[in-house]
A and B are shown apart, each in its own frame.
Chain A
Amino acid sequence: MGLEVDIIFKIAGVGIVVAFLHTVLDQVGKKEYAQWVTLFGFIYILFQVASIVDDLFQKIKSVFLFQ
């Protein structure tokens, strides 16, 4: 359970920092870089979430299908 909370905070942190980076880059008119930064942040978080969901499915599988 401890690990789950850790990961939530990590995702939140990445979200905040990426949002800041996006605003800063947007303000000086580097829109393309801002979009790349946001995209990479999103992809990174997506990988994290995908691996966690994979864990969840494995667990469900082991509980319901195979003893």
Chain B
Amino acid sequence: MVKLIGAVFIIVATTVIGFEASRHLSDRPQQLRSLRSALQSLEAEIMYGHTPLHEAARRLSAQLSKPLSNFFDSFAKKLTDTETTVNEAWETSLREVWKSTALKKGEFEIMKQFGETLGRHDRFSQQKHIMLTLSHLEREEANAIQAQMKYEKMVKSLGFLSGLLLIILLF
């Protein structure tokens, strides 16, 4: 009886791990897509709205969904509340939020480099930098979608099967 309960625990745990990993894989393209739409809105705010950066960031955080909205929220807060440069505020809020997203190192570097250009140039060079970042993110998104298609099913069945194997070995 106790053995059976233990077996159920093991299989539930490994299955949950598998599903969690596959959720991570499917979250990544989605978050990349919303990141791209965020940058597009930022471009519109800068080019056509002439909005100040902290105001634009606040609007973006209202538009976006959870992990990325936190990023723009903390960015806006840092810009208004503390004595700091745009680059620093961007990078520190990027670091704060990055742990809670499904995004990886490559995207982090892209966003960090974008933060270094933010607010330094006139509107048209800023637009060009946004375009560059968007194209980089698009490439990452294509990679992420490919990885998702390839590994999502595998991770799920791997979790379940490894649990099953563990039970048989320990029984």
Contact = CB atoms under 8 A, between A and B. Distances in A.
A27 interface: yes
A57 interface: no
Contacts of A10: 168, 171
Contacts, number: 32
Interface string A21-61: 10011011110000000000100100000000000000000
A21 B168 contact: no
Interface in A1-26: 10, 13-14, 17-18, 20-21, 24-25
Nearest to A37: B165
Interface residues of A, number: 15
B161 to A, nearest CB: 5
B151 interface: yes
B164 A28 contact: no
Contact of A25 (B154, B165, B171): B154
Interface residues of B, number: 12
Nearest to A15: B168
B9 to A, nearest CB: 18
B157 interface: yes
B110 interface: no
Interface of A: 10, 13-14, 17-18, 20-21, 24-25, 27-30, 41, 44
Given A14-B165, A28-B154, A41-B165, 13 more contacts: A10-B168, A10-B171, A14-B168, A14-B169, A18-B165, A20-B161, A24-B157, A24-B158, A25-B158, A28-B151, A29-B150, A30-B154, A44-B169
